[in-house]
Amino acid sequence: MSIDTLRSARIETASRTVDPVFLNTPQIFDHSLSRSLAREVLLKVETLNPVRSFKGRGADFLLRDTDEKRALVCASAGNFGQAVAYAGRGRGLPVHVFAAETANPRKIARMRELGARVVVGGADFDAAKQAAAEYADGREDCVYVEDGYQPQIAEGAGTIGVEIAPLELDAVVLPVGNGALISGVGRWLKDYSPDTKVVGVCSAGAPAMAHSWRSGMPVSTERVDTAADGLAVRVPVPAAVEWMGAVVDDVVLVDDEELYTALRLLRDTLGLIVEPSAAAGVAAIAARDLPGARVGTVLTGSNFAPDLSGSL
């Protein structure tokens, strides 16, 4: 498949065709949270769906758009694998997920519960991704699905932009893992809410996507060290770096302690427990000098590790 430029017309199509179970998620302006962050803050809650993350939007749109009939192979820290497993199961497609040895055991169990065959091995996510690509290479009975490569995944995630654009936010602050979320949402906002700044957030322990955005080309790191497994990218996808370059205004870093502070803030103000990656936007709003008095962020997932409660 060729690497296409993301298009708003296709994001609009996705907003009409993606499984409704993933669409029109809650959008909350909470007074207590906003007071704590000294600005009006919108939370887009992407945890109340069958895979408890935003990833279902992109996986569903990919399979609807391609009408794929072969088995699906992917690598995942857990949320994308769940989304592919859910979408594949609904179409009767076998799903093979490769995950790192360090992957969240709850996410592995949930992928298997959704019918995926999960192969665990490799020191980190990018090692698992290499294993997945090698497994699918040359096979005619399966297709390798890579988060951040197929444009449909970003376009499906971009439907979040369709839902928040009418709110006319000064800035939208988004966690950056493989880059599909911020690329899709950013594409829509640049076309339909051009005054809204698009700010990405990476983990300080996994800064590859931040370095890549600043340099305009993929910049890998030797290792990652973060509690936010959804942000733990060591080897960026070139397509996603290109997409981000067209729509992102800034990328900032937050460390794990700032993520945990944000998790506690969400717990104490809204009673929500999410995974560390999902709190990245709140962490950046709290700890960095970001533009705007009216900002939004996305709580991207709530598939947290068993030991999370001990860190809160």
Over residues 261-284, the mean pLDDT reads 97
CA angle 162, 81, 153 (to 5 degrees): 30
Give the start-to-end residue ranges of the domains of the chain. Answer: 8-50+151-311, 55-144
Percent of the chain surpassing pLDDT 90:
94
The residues pairing with 73 across neighbouring beta strands, listed in sequence order, are 96, 144
pLDDT in tens, 12-27: 999 999 999 999 999 9
Phi first, then psi, for residue 189 (nearest 5°) are -65, -40
- Over the chain, what is the mean pLDDT? 95
> Which residue type is seen at 34?
S
pLDDT greater than 60 at residue 1: no
pLDDT in tens, 41-94: 999 999 999 999 999 999 999 999 999 999 999 999 999 999 999 999 999 999
HSE-up of residue 307 (Cα within 13 Å, Cβ side):
5
CA–CA gap between residue 238 and residue 241 (Å, rounded): 5
Of 3.40.50.1100, 3.40.50.2300, 3.30.980.10, 1.10.260.40, the CATH number of 8-50+151-311 is 3.40.50.1100
- Specify the pLDDT at position 310: 66
Q: Is 284 helix (H, G, I), strand (E, B) or coil?
A: helix
Of 3.20.20.70, 3.40.50.10860, 3.40.50.1100, 3.30.497.10, the CATH number of 55-144 is 3.40.50.1100
CA–CA gap between residue 267 and residue 244 (Å, rounded): 31
pLDDT greater than 60 at residue 3: no
CA–CA gap between residue 153 and residue 181 (Å, rounded): 8
Do the domains spanning 8-50+151-311 and 55-144 agree at the CATH topology level? Answer: yes
pLDDT in tens, 156-197: 999 999 999 999 999 999 999 999 999 999 999 999 999 999
Helix axis angle, 208-215 to 238-247, nearest 10°: 60
